[in-house]
């Protein structure tokens, strides 16, 4: 793909770095390839996190931090939890009896990650990894670094608001809270921005013009560019923003200013 020509400095807040070559889809997604595609798209810096694991994330997080060194990337520490993120009565009942295991993130892990220079924030995917317990979320609040969370049908805006947004740390909700392409959930996530000053949305896998333009026009300071690389090509994600009917100043905020201020 040819390099894009535009006058924007772009910061990408949503890149998955998979340390294990055998876990990369169809052999793609290595750090060299992602860095090359970032350069083609005009992305000057990215926030990167590990792919999902069934075990603890300590080794994967350390590997991502090493891969980010000497590249235009900064690492997010991926964390997990013991709680079912669902809001059903059965899920709430299961959560009463569940206890953190050795492979789950502890409050001490949060403190260690939070005060290391290698990590600039955290990443949570409750639908895949479970929701951290209250003690872990309280420690995230103490540390105060940004947290990226996956949002979608398995962890919709309502659940995000009832759990993570009860704590005082900057929260970036991926996919506008509506993965995959759930327009009604995206609308709910945009509505959340009115109620929570520390809530932000990233544009990864949104693909729909209406919610993108609505969010950027109504909340230009709260939308961050995310490519979703390597599953999505960064140049395609950039073009989706470049073709929106929004002011250039708002576009500049989405591409870099908002992320720079957050970090």
Question: Is residue 1 a part of any domain in this protein?
Answer: no
- Say whether 246 sits in a helix, a strand or coil: coil
The pLDDT of residue 26: 75
Question: Is residue 5 a part of any domain in this protein?
Answer: no
Model confidence pLDDT, tens digit, residues 148-174: 999 999 999 999 999 999 999 999 999
Model confidence pLDDT, tens digit, residues 171-204: 999 999 999 999 999 999 999 999 999 999 999 9
Question: Is residue 2 a part of any domain in this protein?
Answer: no
Per DSSP, the residues of 133-202 read PHHHHHHHHHH---EEE--BTTB-HHHHHHTGGGSSS-EEEGGGG-BTT-HHHHHHHHHHHHH-TTEEEE
Cα 114 to Cα 127: distance, rounded to the nearest angstrom: 23
Q: Classify residue 131 by its DSSP letter.
A: B
Number of domains in the chain: 1
Identify which of 135, 144, 143, 81 has the alpha carbon closest to the alpha carbon of residue 112. Answer: 143
The pLDDT of residue 182: 96
Whether the per-residue pLDDT at 97 is higher than 80: the answer is: no
Higher pLDDT, 8 or 2: 8
The boundaries of the domain holding residue 132 are 10-262
Mean pLDDT of the chain: 93
Tokens 């995000």 sit at which residue? 160
Question: Is residue 147 a part of any domain in this protein?
Answer: yes
Q: Binning pLDDT at 50, 70 and 90, where does residue 9 land?
A: very high
Q: Environment class of residue 49 by beta-carbon count within 10 Å: exposed (0-12), middle (13-18) or buried (19+)?
A: buried
Question: Is residue 98 a part of any domain in this protein?
Answer: yes
CATH code, domain carrying 91: 3.20.20.140
The pLDDT of residue 2: 56
Question: Is residue 177 a part of any domain in this protein?
Answer: yes
Whether the per-residue pLDDT at 218 is higher than 80: the answer is: yes
Question: Is residue 256 a part of any domain in this protein?
Answer: yes
**Structure tokens given for 103:** 């492979």
Helix (H) or strand (E) holding 76: strand 73-79
Model confidence pLDDT, tens digit, residues 10-66: 999 999 999 998 888 776 889 999 999 999 999 999 999 999 998 899 999 999 999
Model-level pTM? Answer: 0.94
Opening angle at CA 206, ends 174 and 147, nearest 5: 10
Question: Is residue 4 a part of any domain in this protein?
Answer: no
The pLDDT of residue 5: 85
Whether the per-residue pLDDT at 132 is higher than 80: the answer is: yes
Q: Classify residue 229 by its DSSP letter.
A: B
């Amino acid at each position: 793909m040819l390099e894009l020509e535009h006058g924007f400095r772009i910061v990408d807040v949503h890149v998955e770095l998979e340390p294990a070559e055998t876990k990369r889809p169809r052999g793609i997604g290595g750090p060299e390839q992602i860095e090359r595609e970032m350069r083609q798209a005009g992305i000057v810096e990215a926030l990167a996190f590990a792919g999902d694991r069934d075990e603890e994330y300590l080794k994967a997080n350390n590997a991502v931090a090493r891969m980010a060194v000497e590249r235009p990337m900064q690492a997010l520490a991926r964390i997990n939890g013991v709680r079912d993120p669902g809001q059903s009565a059965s899920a709430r009942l299961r959560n009463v009896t569940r206890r953190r295991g050795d492979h789950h993130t502890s409050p001490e892990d949060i403190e260690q990650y939070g005060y290391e220079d290698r990590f600039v924030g955290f990443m949570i995917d409750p639908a895949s990894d479970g929701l951290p317990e209250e003690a872990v979320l309280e420690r995230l609040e103490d540390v105060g670094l940004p947290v990226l969370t996956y949002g979608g049908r398995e962890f919709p805006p309502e659940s995000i608001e009832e759990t993570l947004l009860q704590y005082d740390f900057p929260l970036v909700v991926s996919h506008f809270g509506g993965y995959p392409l759930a327009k009604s959930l995206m609308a709910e996530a945009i509505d959340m921005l009115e109620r929570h000053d520390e809530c932000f949305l990233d544009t990864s896998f949104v693909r729909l013009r209406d919610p993108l333009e609505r969010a950027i026009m109504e909340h230009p300071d709260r939308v961050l560019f995310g490519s979703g690389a390597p599953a999505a090509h960064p140049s395609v994600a950039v073009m989706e923003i470049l073709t929106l009917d929004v002011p250039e100043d708002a576009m500049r905020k989405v591409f870099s200013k908002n992320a720079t201020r957050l970090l």
